[in-house]
Amino acid sequence: MTIKQISVFVQNEPGRLLSFTEALTRAGVNMTALNLADVTDYGIVRVIVDDTEKAVAVLKENNYTVRVNDILCVDVTDEPGALHTILQKLAEAQLNISYMYGFSNSGKASLVFKVNDLEKASQALL
């Protein structure tokens, strides 16, 4: 399924991630997934939330640089080989994966992919 993900540039310094989460908390926005990748001077926070529009508005009000992307989210059984099967299907469809992350909870796993063609990826996984 295709879902919305927010990417935010955050300075790589003490307390900046705390300020980010504080802004969302005060606005009542719930984060369902978060990935943080660091680069020398800043980090890229990729977050999935329950209210994308509200999150974007509050983050912009707090002077964050924000981008919204459509990404692919695939739910699989949390067992050996589940990721391999998904990657095999995407490779057979000649799709490029820019990045991915995943999380597991109660026997299910959710995998998030940034791919070059969402529609083609969704079809490949049917």
Please write the tens of the pLDDT for every residue from 19-57. Answer: 999 999 999 999 999 999 887 788 899 999 999 999 999
If one counts the domains in the chain, the total is: 2
76 and 65 in a common domain: no
Residues 44, 83: Cα–Cα separation, whole Å = 24
Strands of the sheet containing 2-11, edge to edge, are 31-38, 42-49, 2-11, 65-77, 108-115, 97-105
Output the six-digit token pair for 86.
């998904």
pTM: 0.85
Residue 118 one-letter amino acid: L
Tens digits of per-residue pLDDT, 75-118?
998 899 999 999 999 999 999 999 999 887 777 888 889 999 99
Domain region containing 37? 2-69
Residue 4 reports pLDDT greater than 90 = yes
65 and 7 in a common domain: yes
| Domain final residue, candidates 49, 69, 89 | 69
Per-residue model confidence (pLDDT) at position 13: 87
